Structure 1
């Protein structure tokens, strides 16, 4: 029997097939005037369902638990004893159908830890006399000398023997940029070699290494999570004793056991057995249509009650990818030319940092050239000849090998403090400038957190393995309640458990290092598009669309689903209560009671199916093409903002005539590019956006920013004219202030508009930029850095 057939023919589905077949066959015999055969066929369907149910009930009772199943078991057993076979098979059919539905709703869509274990290192290259030998990772012993190939995984924990190693540790620490290690550094298993081959001396066996420890943490966290109590079972604690008491009273007062059976049949909690699972299945389906994979009914019910959210930082609240933040120019060509040369050289590198530089050049529509004599130095950078010029790109040690100028050293230190990465560029031996790279806050993160607050989330915690100063910068931009930085996978589990002790908690992450915490939370949520497979395996819910705002939708769907399930359960119990009283008074015999219960079932199931609709209603959207067009307008204006800051920095220095020419060029750009752009937004675009957003005046704040931009542009025009007429130092100070203010408000304004565009973009719109964050200089920027230790973040890592 193949695996797919085994998965299809589960015990619960076989029982449902037996019950349905027996019911149909018995009904045919009854219609053919063969009542004895009908009773025999119905009994054949009742017995296996009852036997399975008795086993489950006994198992629950031994654990000190009870639920709705006990009433169904008593109904079927009583029907057999009293010869009410039709009533018994109806109960059996309903129970078997409810079990299949519940199994489908709660079944996880994977085998636990499959991907996590599948990613674990399995082979290692060990040095022996005469060369290398490939051995199973379990055969590695402490002290063995191993070689880690390019693109390979560090098989066990060890000490670096060579001069340098460049590792991608994103899966372990969340650090989005590769980390350079020096001789003697302790390397952890599970890291990927992003540079040249290197050697390590093993300091631990595979079982005692970092990656194996993470696997054990996930297993322990999942095993330690308390089982979820079904909604139906919670209400059964009240419904069960009331039913047994009424059935016993009806038998005792009437002396007729059939009345007790009728009460049990009418009371058979099909609203509990069927309505809640149907609503949960419908809710899971509604979530799936929005790109939210919920692995069963338990997580969906738990999600409806969460009050605390814990977010990993990198890849969850931030993009997890490097992006050009700004261009620092000191000598030679202008900024656009520096970026063009860097991107032309990086065409020959497959490193993620090179991809980020190429993306920035393409966004600006720069024409790239071919490079010759390209050489890439491990862990340092890349060099080549472009259009007859010698170009070097990378860390300061490679680009300024002889003596780094003070400005470059200061920039490297400042970038490291801010968690950024500085990629320096030299042309014909002269250090010309640097490209500052950073991970950025996701476009939708602020909006998603605001929506979660409105949804009743009382506490938001950011959990990260990054440095505290970097994590706190992101937290300040987003307004989270608590920051927990520099946390290992073990620390993350402790943090999740501490929050769970206070309130139901969701953990959101995307890396291997997040997997144990995801497994420990009440509901673990994985960002599944670019996140590690291990995180998706350990999580209860996966966001298949790379948008954090879908988490708010998931919570809304979960709460609506729970509300509908509760309505169905309570309405069904109320109707069943009326029927039970009628049965106790002798007005409903068992078969009529079973049919009445069927009518109640149909009503509550139809109500439960309302959960198929997510309840959001129709949302007005901008066409995707228009969203991309609006984004491109801001990207095209980004170099002008960089030029404003550069000019402001240089006011009062250098050639006065050249500075006057630069001020005139800026004034012209403002008059011909920025002000027409803002005027068009104010008169044509924003009225339409207001109609899509709704409310009294949703664009009021943006309109106020427009007016301030116009005011600052007019002030700049007057001050620039005064500077051209030879006004003194005081005028230059005011001019510098105005330029700084204008640049800052334009960046903030563009970021605000981009967030609005993204919020009302069609499914195909807005997503292009989510992978890379906001437009360059969009105001909210953050970067990640690796935890402390014998390592440093390299200015230009290698492929």
Structure 2
């Protein structure tokens, strides 16, 4: 009946005990056999506890069975043995359900990979795949290693992230090991070996979770500190008062602590199952217990609350140059570069649907960056080379400093024509996730990052964090974790190798495995298998719920057992009846504990809403240049009403009327009714609808300005209108991405 014994064996043992108990009606000796079997099993549990230097609730089970033998209440002993066996079978069933999700994760691990070698495609063991190998993944196959796609593909990532819809991935983006190819066969270039992939780290943690017996007895033992002496005292008083040892036997029988022995591990195992279904692998039940008590979170910045890679946030251009033209020139030069900033430039051009033809005569330009010939023009991309930059470029430099952004300069014939502002943007789900963590009971959120102070402080202000530590080295992160632990149980979250020491030092270390940082996955107590951090809130909510259910189930069992003890002490329950009552108490406690298998309650997102969210999220990316045109028109007025400013204002008006306003109206008409039930009904979407009304008002104001030729006395109001539009659009887009678009990423 040990939890490591197969569930089928446990069922057979329970059936044998039931048959023995029934056989005792004809042959009473059978009850003695069942009692002796139960006593032997209970003694083995006590010995195990003593070896671990722990005295728990198993003592009561041993005493109950022993005294039934002493006073000859073999029927009661047989019922207790049956009760213990049934409880263990119920626990085995719960653990079987809890571990099947982890088993499925292990079963998905591919053993072979198809690699292009010697002019053909051969199948090799997955451990033989080297970095740089071209791996071919056929439709329906599991991606064996992390790789960069050489062609577009569609993938089923539900096993890792819970996302039910196939996810399209463009050429040049990453495909992670463990996802399933849901489209045509694709080729990819391996960027990590199988043992260093994100999926491998998750699999190793899953193996540890399955191999480790969760030390969850501490919670039960805390209850036992009260239950054991109370039961012994009540039994002693009942014996003394009635002068009948059978009365004491009845008390001990009703006090048999199966609710504690079974309900607590069942609830914790159920919580582990729920977290694994949500894309989080937890090392063992003790981790889940600690997660349920965490009150402080230490968060890394890069790759944790931010995307982890720079992206182009704005394109500032010289007079006479369009945003699309500047971006296309930069992408043409950078299209073959592996540099992270080059990837950001090319990605921005791809999102804007710009045709990019690789430049010719590409070269490194000392002190600048990269250069090449694009449509007969000498284009360089990188640092600013002008010693006396023009006014627009000085304005761009000021903007970059104020925004704590990096700048990629685009030159044509050594003259700057555009400044691309790049930042590591916040994850869209970061704000909602941290709000959920606070709602779950965390009262302190701290950002500890190696990044610059102004960047870290901007992030902390936007997310409403309680404290921020910038320019932090790995040892600084560990020191901060130690300091926070002195105040309250602390969780550390990170995704890179330099986060590993802090994760190891924290009460609970949580790694984000998407980037394949094996060091963090090795030392972490839990791993988020998806790219986002929304599952961080999922696991904390589920841990708190599982811990609460465990306490509730144990309290329910102990409370009912105490009532039964009083009834037995007063003579209302004989030992056999007490054993039956205790069996009913066990069923109630374990049945309540099984609720933890469901995890924290989440609202399902209908497929129609998910598709609309996907569509409008894509449109947000496509409208980046339109929004930049609005801001650029306002900037152009800084030198007065010039011909260039007039041209830009009218161009901004066109993109407002032709692209931005139709997008906003479609959201109001289609998206908002679909998401309203998920965000509190009409009241939940009212603030966003008010933003739409403000955008319409400002756009109409701009239209009235353009009913005739522009004059100098309109400049101030034009700038206020354009900058107002830019501010409202920026805030509105950010709110939609945080509050609505992340709904499509939530686990069901």
TM-score band, normalised by the shorter chain? 0.7 to 0.9
Q: CA deviation at 1:734?
A: 3.0
Give the Å deviation of 1:435: 2.0
| CA displacement, residues 692-731 of structure 1 (integer Å, 9 cap, x when unaligned) | 4334522332233233323322333344456x35x33x43
Deviation string 1:208-242 (CA, Å, 9 cap, x unpaired) is: xxxxxxxxxxxxxxxxxxx9873212211111110
Q: Structure 2: which 5+ runs fail to align?
A: 103-130, 133-214
Cα offsets for 1:722-772 (capped at 9, x unmatched): 6x35x33x432332232222222222222223333314336599xxxxxxx
Pairing of 1:616-695 with structure 2 (within 5 A): 616=601, 618-621=603-606, 622-651=608-637, 653=639, 656-683=642-669, 685-695=671-681
For the 8 Å contact 2:7–2:96, the answer to whether it is kept is: no
Task: Determine which of 421, 428, 442 is the counterpart of 2:427.
Answer: 442
- What SS class does the counterpart of residue 244 from structure 1 fall into? helix
For normalisation by structure 2, the TM-score amounts to 0.74
Counterpart of 2:487 in structure 1 is 502
Match of 2:743 in 1: 760
2-structure distance, mates of 1:102, 1:517:
34
For residue 13 of structure 1, what is the aligned residue in structure 2? 4
Deviation at 1:460, TM superposition (A): 2.0
From 63, 79, 85, the counterpart of 1:74 = 63
SS in 1 for 2:338: coil
SS in 2 for 1:230: helix
Is the contact made by 1:564 and 1:607 (CA closer than 8 Å) also made in structure 2? Answer: yes
1:271 to 241, 253, 259: 259
Distance between the aligned counterparts of 2:356 and 2:692, measured in 1? 36
Judged with a 3 Å threshold, the aligned counterparts in structure 2 of structure 1 residues 627 and 92 are, in CA distance, closer, same or farther, namely closer
Partner SS, residue 378 of structure 2: strand
Q: How many angstroms does 1:441 deviate by?
A: 0.9
How far apart are the structure 2 equivalents of 1:259 and 1:594? 13
Contact 2:94–2:270, Cα closer than 8 Å, also in 1: no
Task: Determine the C-alpha separation between the residues in 2 that align with 1:342 and 1:40.
Answer: 84
Is the contact between residue 57 and residue 70 of structure 1 (CA under 8 Å) also seen in structure 2?
no
Corresponding position of 1:365: 353
User: Which residue among 702, 724, 727 is the counterpart of 1:716?
Assistant: 702
Q: Name the CA shift for 1:434/1:707 in 2 (closer, same or farther; >3 Å).
A: same
Quickly say closer, same or farther: Cα 1:15–1:519, change in 2 above 3 A: same
Q: Secondary structure at the match of 1:558?
A: helix
Separation in 1, partners of 2:308, 2:426:
9
Deviations 1:503-529 (A, max 9, x none): 333322222222232233333332233
Residue 91 (structure 1) shift: 5.9
CA separation in 2, counterparts of 1:102 and 1:677? 49
Is the 8 Å Cα contact of residues 312 and 509 (structure 1) preserved in structure 2? yes
Structure 2 Cα separation of the partners of residues 654 and 580 of structure 1? 89
Work out the CA distance in 2 between the residues paired with 1:764 and 1:616: 11
User: Within 1, Cα distance between the matches of 2:537 and 2:19?
Assistant: 51
Change beyond 3 A, Cα 1:16–1:50: farther
Q: Distance in 2 between matches of 1:652 and 1:526?
A: 47
Spell out, residue by residue over 1:135-154, the C-alpha distance to the aligned partner (whole angstroms, 9 max, x if none).
xxxxxxxxxxxxxxx99xxx
Output the TM-score relative to the length of structure 1: 0.70
- Which stretch shifts more, 704-713 or 460-469? 704-713
In structure 2, the partner of 1:288 is 276
| Contact 1:72–1:95 (8 Å) recurs in 2 | no
Pair 1:379–1:554, CA change in 2 (3 A): farther
Is the 8 Å Cα contact of residues 91 and 266 (structure 2) preserved in structure 1?
Answer: no
- Label 1:732 to 1:55 Cα distance change in 2 as closer, same or farther (>3 A): same
1:536-685 equivalent positions in 2, closer than 5 A: 536-585=521-570, 588-614=573-599, 616=601, 618-621=603-606, 622-651=608-637, 653=639, 656-683=642-669, 685=671
CA shift for structure 1 position 369: 0.7
Structure 1 residues 265 and 531: CA distance shift in structure 2, 3 A: farther
Can you list the C-alpha shifts for 1:72-125, whole angstroms capped at 9, x where unaligned? 233344455556462563365367658868998999x99xxxxxxxxxxxxxxx
Instruction: Determine the structure 2 residue equivalent to 1:134.
Output: none
- 1:356-404 deviation digits (Å, cap 9, x = unpaired): 22221111111111333333579963333333333322334xxx3x857
Q: Aligned partners of 1:37 and 1:454: how far apart in 2?
A: 56
Given the superposition, is the C-alpha separation of residues 623 and 263 from structure 1 closer, same or farther in structure 2, using an over 3 Å criterion? same
Alpha-carbon contact 2:280-2:529 (below 8 Å) kept:
yes
1:586: Cα distance to partner?
5.1
Structure 1 alignment gaps of length 5 or more: 1-9, 111-149, 152-226, 766-799
Count of residues in Structure 1 that have an aligned counterpart in Structure 2: 631
Deviates more, 1:459-468 or 1:613-622: 613-622
Structure 1 segment 421-436 matched on structure 2, within 5 A: 421-436=406-421
Equivalence for 2:152: none
- Give, in whole Å, the separation in 1 of the partners of 2:454 and 2:629: 29
CA contact (8 A) 1:26 1:39 kept: no
CA gap of 1:17–1:36, structure 2 versus 1, over 3 A, is: farther
User: CA–CA distance in 2 between the matches of 1:15 and 1:548?
Assistant: 36
What SS does structure 2 have at the residue aligned with 1:339?
helix
Indicate the residue corresponding to 1:55 in structure 2.
47
Picking from 731, 742, 746, the partner of 1:748 is 731
The answer as to whether partners of 1:624 and 1:763 remain within 8 angstroms in 2 is: no
* Residues 1:342 and 1:24: Cα distance change in structure 2 (over 3 Å): same
Give the whole-Å Cα distance in 2 for the aligned partners of 1:424 and 1:716: 31
Identify the match of residue 260 of structure 1 among 248, 254, 257.
Answer: 248
Q: Name the CA shift for 1:101/1:415 in 2 (closer, same or farther; >3 Å).
A: farther
The equivalences for 1:783-794 within 5 A come to none
1:8-47 to 2 correspondence within 5 Å? Answer: 12-14=3-5, 25=16, 31=23, 36=29, 39-40=32-33, 43=36, 46-47=39-40
Residue 697 of structure 1, aligned match among 679, 683, 695: 683
Taking a change above 3 Å as real, the CA distance of residues 689 and 432 of structure 1, as seen in their structure-2 partners, is same
Query: SS at 2:4's partner residue?
Result: helix
Looking at structure 1, the residues matched to 610 and 94 of structure 2 have their Cα atoms a distance apart, in angstroms, of 39
Deviations 1:451-493 (A, max 9, x none): 3333443222222222222111111111111112222222222
Distance 1:612 1:405 in 2: 63
Q: Secondary structure at the match of 1:13?
A: coil
Which secondary structure does the structure 2 equivalent of 1:483 belong to? strand
Rounded to whole Å, the distance in 2 between the matches of 1:105 and 1:311 is 32
Aligned residue for 1:391?
Answer: 379
User: Once superposed, what is the RMSD of the aligned Cα atoms?
Assistant: 3.8
Q: Are the equivalent residues in 2 in contact too, given 1:101–1:274 (CA < 8 A)?
A: no
User: SS at the partner of 1:324?
Assistant: strand
Match of 1:470 in 2: 455
